[in-house]
Amino acid sequence: EQGKPLNGPNARFEVGACSAWLRQTAAFDLEPEVLVDDEGGRVELHYRPLGVVGAIGPWNWPMMISVWQLAPSLRMGNTVVVKPSGMTPLSVLALVHVLNLALPTDVLQVVSGRRDVGAVLASHADIAKIMFTGSTAAGQDIIRSSADTVKRLTLELGGNDAGIVLPDADPRAIAEDLFWGAFINTGQTCAALKRLYVHEDIYEEVVQALADIARAMPMGVGLDESNFLGPLQNKAQFDIVANLVQAAKDSNARIVVGGEPNKGQPGYFYPATLVADIDNDNPLVTEEQFGPALPIIKYSDVEQAIEWANGLDVGLGASVWSSDRDKALAVAARIQAGSVWINKHGTVDPRAPFGGAKKSGYGLEFGVEGLKHLGQPQVISA
């Protein structure tokens, strides 16, 4: 339904992540916090169930992200109404069916439909909280729809994640992790690497190391066990990628690999595309492509790279690549993003909170901190 190949960080990976997140979330403890305990009294912070949580998911990782939303909601004692993307409802309907074999009746429900159904959930007086993963524009619509009921929101919105490769990095050593940071799920991932800044001293080495991997990575129908890259899920996304790559071509950027739709193959297949010698203000850099096209921008000064990385109004994730951990950490601390990875990109962990900066949303998911965002804080003083 989504188009993921079975192997690699794709379909079987997604199913495994669902299982892992359910198990880890069930294992978390959230005990009352003792804030004051002295001769003046005792103050405790508790987290109570909110009530009904509306979980609105995307089409790129439909099962996994639904689990990210529903697992902590249920763990905190809430009931959940799941609204899958209208583009990928079937896998989520099947997921909810399986979960309901174990859950009490009506604790977890699912309603499918298009964006207007999500708007109803966001405005409904009996929904206490909305968890949403999707575009910034759709998130803004949910904020507006939810305003009258002042409901709680956790929004994981669009990103345009930057990676900065420092001059001391080893191009061949980091190339495979760079590739999958950008091309996981054929680039259709919110926290994928979407613009790469590489120091001029190692620029060509990094470009060529990535090109070697891209040329060798098989793309095709997901049920073929040999494929690791699949199609774009829908025509609208295919057209976005094709138009942004064309804009790069029109600016005389260098197409290193790819750059043309796979002719003669049915489906929305766009090859893994690397674009070098591209300006930082090119649309392929400034707009989220959400597909298999990575712009690689040359820089000469780290200050310039940091400024460029921070130059957009989104900040979901970012990464720094270096052989010197301390140097990488110093750069990471200056990047405006909710998560910054060192020598990897997009490796989320159910124990570590995850959330965006700027227009990439607000609220946290995962870990004990994520559980707190699905409870009503209550302070008891005695």
The beta strands (E) that lie in 264-362 are given as 273-276, 293-299, 314-315, 317-321, 339-342, 357-358, 361-362
303 carries an active-site annotation:
no
Give the C-alpha separation, 13 to 72, whole Å.
Answer: 20
200 carries an active-site annotation:
no
Burial class of residue 148 in the structure, from the number of CB atoms within 10 Å of its CB (0-12 exposed, 13-18 middle, 19+ buried): exposed
- Which residues lie closer than 8 Å to 104 by C-beta, 6 or more apart? none
Sign of CA dihedral 115, 117, 121, 124: positive
Kindly give the pairing relationship between strand 314-315 and strand 273-276: unpaired
Segments in the chain forming alpha helices (H): 11-27, 62-75, 89-99, 115-123, 136-146, 171-183, 203-216, 235-250, 283-286, 302-309, 325-332, 367-372
Give the C-alpha separation, 345 to 9, whole Å.
Answer: 13
Residue 252 CA, distance from chain mean position: 30
- Which residues lie closer than 8 Å to 287 by C-beta, 6 or more apart? 160, 244
Nearest to 92 by CA among 56, 133, 135: 56
In the chain, the N- to C-terminal Cα span, in Å, equals: 55
Catalytically annotated residue among 190, 200, 307, 369: 190
In this structure, what DSSP letter does residue 185 have? G
Catalytically annotated residue among 14, 18, 156, 365: 156
- Which residues lie closer than 8 Å to 227 by C-beta, 6 or more apart? 5, 7, 218, 219, 220, 221
Sign of CA dihedral 216, 265, 87, 98: negative
Note whether 258 and 271 are within 8 A (CB).
yes
Nearest to 258 by CA among 248, 243, 270: 270
> Annotated active-site positions, please?
156, 190
